Amino acid sequence: LQLNDGRFTMTQLVGMLRGVAGVMKYLSDMNYVHRDLAARNILVNSNLVCKVSDFGLSRFLDDTSADPTYTSSLGGKIPIRWTAPEAIAFRKFTTASDVWSYGIVMWEVVSYGERPYWDMSNQDVMTAVEQDYRLPPPMDCPMVLHQLMLECWMKERNLRPKFSRIVGTLDKLCATPPA
């Protein structure tokens, strides 16, 4: 992305995001949580087809529960800038925490690979997010895309959209590109 800054149309960027959302919908439908979704873990071919990679932190969620959750043990490192507040605070990972990470991926893609939260320390990122700070829209980002990012970053995980809704929203954007 960084090498192609400004060379992709918004329609191409949205198409890439749609591809990632489709993969994440499939993973969530199969009761898996990725736990390390970030632009660095998205492989893109010459046709801009995106593939999610690095499943090293992925876990199967027990679907017999009303709220399938994976709780990680203490000691493992987590990617703070991409991790939902409840996953940082309580080490509880769900599809909703992957949705949070997906919102950060959206921001990374539309900003052409800019580092989320720029040069803030991890501690400063955690404090800012806990105090309801959210990343601003990248330059030339359509309002509808930034609104979707903000929905992905809702503090209450139950208020975040499901991947099926994200896919539907992006499908509409692909059919009628934002201005």
Place of tokens 């991926």: 105
Beta strands in the chain (DSSP E): 32-33, 42-44, 50-52, 59-60, 70-71, 92-93
For residue 15, tell me if it sits in a domain. yes
For residue 45, tell me if it sits in a domain. yes
The neighbour count for residue 151, using CB atoms within 10 Å, is 16
For residue 134, tell me if it sits in a domain. yes
Residue-wise pLDDT tens digits, 134-177: 999 999 999 999 999 999 999 999 999 999 999 999 999 999 87
Q: Say which of 5, 36, 62, 98 is annotated catalytic.
A: 36
pTM given for the model: 0.93
Residues of the chain with pLDDT under 50: none
- Host domain of residue 36: 2-55+79-175
Q: How far is residue 40 CA from its own chain's centroid?
A: 12
Q: What is the CATH number of the domain that holds 18?
A: 1.10.510.10
Q: Is 36 designated active site?
A: yes
Residue 55, token pair as written in the block = 């499943």
| CA dihedral sign of residues 8, 14, 19, 21 | positive
